[in-house]
Structure 1
Amino acid sequence: MSALLEVDWLAAHADQVVLLDASVTRIDRGTGVTEFAPGPEGYAKGHIPGARFADLMQAFSDPAARFSFTAPSAEQLQAAARAVGIRGDSHVVIYDSLGGAYAARLWYLLRGYGLAKVSVLNGGLQAWVAAGHPVETSMGAEIAPGNFTLQAAEGLFVGADEVLALVNKGADPARPLLCALRPEQFRGDGSSDPRRGHIPTSLNLPWPSLLGADGRLDPAILPQKLADLGLSRDIAPVLYCGGGINAAGLALAFHLIGQEDVVIYDDSMSGWRADPALPVQAGA
């Protein structure tokens, strides 16, 4: 089962899947810092018919953590998955309304904890609407609880200590640090934060650079992007971004070209900048 599905496939098979809307509301208050909020209001304004709202910020992340989108405990993730009706044999298809990285984050979690059939809808809600398909605004019927049981997961995330060890070792083309933020964020342009920029020794591979003008992911772009960075596709990268979301998009792209040996630094720059003992670097 492909990890990336197109709108035409979903239109023909919607009654055979558990469809999840993992959209998150982004709030720009003009301060240079993007804020986030759960997306039920956007879901209520319009979603793909039959989709269930998957609360990525509260249910599928740890709401008690210091940083947004911190991975939940296994118990919390299992409870959240069951609450949206996921069974062990479900084929789950996930989408969002903001470029696909939020859907990829949920894909990364569910797949990492043993769900065999989980996919991302390429282009998300935007692609669905562009293809002329309808949306609905009702909150949907009551969901029968699922019975998905997590499997043990290892190697999904690394912490700051492991990332710092890579920094101290120096740039390693076999295990590079790859930042999925936009170039201006990577450089720290337009920010007065003295800890703006990126983790030293890391390379910039922006998640949006893998998307076409229509917002659809094209994994065939990735090998050339790696070559432009002086990297082969046979690497074991550590991925990060601002809060572990765009990094999950990169993890999906690597999976689609057959590279599974990737991990995410979960706290990403949110956690790294918060610790004054950790080095940051501005500029290219």
Structure 2
Amino acid sequence: MSELILEESIVSVSWLKAHLNASNLVILDATIPKVTHTSSLDTEAFQFPKARFFDIKKKFSDPDGPFPNTCPSEAQFTREAQNIGINKNSAIVVYDDNGIYSSARAWWLFKAFGHDNVAVLNGGLPEWKQAHFPLEKKHPINYSTGNFIAKYQEGYLLFFNDIQVLKNNSKYKILDARSANRFHGLAPEPREGLRSGTIPHSKNLPFENLLSDYRLLSKEHLEQKFATITDQKEQLIFSCGSGITACVLALGADVIGYKNIAVYDGSWTEYGSLITNENTMHWTKDELIAYTLLYAANSNFIEDNKEKNVIIERVDMQTFQNIHDEFDADNDYQSIQKIVQGVKDHQFNTNDINALLAEIKMLFFADGEFDVTERIMYRSLKHILEQ
């Protein structure tokens, strides 16, 4: 059988079954436990015939990195890939026991290190089992040393300093693959000691929204998912908890033809650790009012210029920008907590609260409308402030 050239980033189990005997095919098991799961998988004792273990945690991450799963060096990636028999001409198909989870990270790493002849198995081990295709018990295998040489490609992975520069650039959009509850701070981060929060200006696209029964959605449905939150004109940066499921978003975007895409390697674990965001009150009364008005103005996710001008009248432009940066870094829960604590710390009385509510209503009328979304926000803030 002739050597395989993988022209798509994802292949089906039936395709793989038909090409198992290809001379340059390498099947990699890139399974890691899901960070939100505490129990081991019941499938982990089995593997695809002749599968090789791509050890993300111990072999293909920086062993000295302060954060989990971060990118290894060229030398390390070369050495570990050669140790599992990867050659320059290898056609690599990656799977994992969860369907599509960590396999996308392995796929993205190979591309980042200059090897494009790689694809993810759609549905992974669950799909293979469902098709009743052969499996074998996992066992130690000795491989002939491969001749693969890693050549790091700029732009596939971004790092903390990149994010600090690009997060405020309107040409870039950061999409966060964490669950909606984690993104909005309604569920704690699974890593002990890691605070909740979001990267400023980022939007949420949970990686599981791109999957159905372990498989990646069809191109048509993927296009619909991405179209609700971004467009092809933007340069996309994918983030998550620690750089694993961000690669699932990268896979989905690649399948439907997005070109300007990158993964934030350290993701929220790094960003949330390096950027602190204390909830203690540090504003003047006018600054607190400006923050509250900014929160109200974003009820429909659109800041009208007239609404901005109302807020800027409260504070100078530089202070407004500082408050805006802090607001962008806060999730909805954190914003509410800050407003409630601020009202308490500044000892707002009934007259102060009524005056603030009047300013909120004036803000909403600044564009000549007081729509349904704004009415709901007004009632919610009134309830919160009058507690």
Instruction: Please give the TM-score of this superposition, normalised by the length of structure 2.
Output: 0.65
2:93–2:119 CA contact under 8 A, matched in 1: yes
Instruction: Name the structure 1 match of 2:183.
Output: 186
Aligned residue in 1 for 2:71:
71
Q: Which residue of 2 aligns with 1:31?
A: none
Listed one character per residue, the Cα deviations across residues 226-264 of structure 1 (whole Å, up to 9, x for unaligned) are 3222x2133211110000111111111111111121111
Task: Give the SS at the match of 2:118.
Answer: strand
Maintained 8 Å contact 1:50/1:140: no
Matched residues in 2 for 1:113 and 1:26: separation?
A: 25
Residue 264 of structure 1: SS of its match in structure 2?
A: strand
Letter in 2 for 1:100: I
Give, as a single letter, the amino acid of the residue that structure 2 aligns with 1:250: L
Paired letter, 1:267: G
Per-residue deviation, 1:208: 0.6
Task: Name the CA distance, whole Å, in 2 between partners of 1:151 and 1:36.
Answer: 37
Partner of 2:256: 257
- Secondary structure in 2 aligned to 1:237? strand
Tell me: CA distance 1:36–1:198, structure 2 relative to 1, closer, same or farther (3 Å): farther
**Residues 27-42 of structure 1 aligned to structure 2 (within 5 Å):** none
Per the TM alignment, residue 36 of structure 1 is displaced from its structure 2 partner at its CA by: 11
2:12·2:121 contact (CA, 8 Å) conserved in 1?
yes
Contact 2:9–2:118 (CA<8 Å) still a contact in 1?
A: yes
Which structure 2 residue ranges, 5 or more long, are not aligned?
1-6, 278-325, 334-387
Answering whether residue 31 of structure 2 is matched by residue 23 of structure 1, we say yes
Name the CA shift for 1:277/1:145 in 2 (closer, same or farther; >3 Å): same
User: 1:69-95: per-residue Cα shift (whole Å, max 9, x none)?
Assistant: 100001101111111111001101100
Partners of 1:18 and 1:202 in 2: how far apart? 37
Instruction: Give the alignment partner of residue 14 of structure 1, picking from 20, 25, 35.
Output: 20
Which residue identity does 1:183 align to in structure 2?
Answer: A
Deviation of 1:168 after TM superposition, in Å, equals: 4.0
Instruction: Read off the aligned partner of 2:273 and give its amino acid letter.
Output: A
For the 8 Å contact 1:186–1:283, the answer to whether it is kept is no
**Paired residues of 2:29 and 2:53 also in contact (CA < 8 A):** yes
Shift of the 56–42 alpha-carbon distance from structure 1 to 2, 3 Å rule, reads farther
Classify 1:207/1:26 alpha carbon distance in 2 versus 1 (closer, same or farther; 3 Å).
closer
Q: Which structure has more RCO (C-alpha within 8 Å, separation ≥ 6)?
A: 1
The letter of the residue matching 1:190 is: A
TM-score (norm 1): 0.87
Matched, 1:165 2:165: yes
1:137–1:121 Cα change, 3 Å = same
CA distance in 2, matches of 1:204, 1:95: 25
Alignment RMSD (CA, Å): 2.4
CA contact 2:167–2:173 (8 Å) conserved in 1: no
1:281 equivalent in structure 2? 330
- Measured in 1, the distance between the counterparts of 2:214 and 2:28 equals 19
Residue identity matched to 2:264: Y
- Specify every segment of 5 or more residues in structure 1 that has no aligned partner in the other structure, as ranges: 29-33
Match of 2:243 in 1: 244
Q: Find the counterpart in structure 2 of residue 100 from structure 1.
A: 100
Q: 1:175 to 1:191 in 2, by over 3 A?
A: same
Q: Are the counterparts in 1 of residues 99 and 127 from structure 2 also a CA contact under 8 Å? A: no
Seq. identity, %: 32
From the superposition, tell whether residues 47 and 202 of structure 1 become closer, same or farther in structure 2 (CA, over 3 Å): same
Paired position in structure 1 for 2:269 = 270
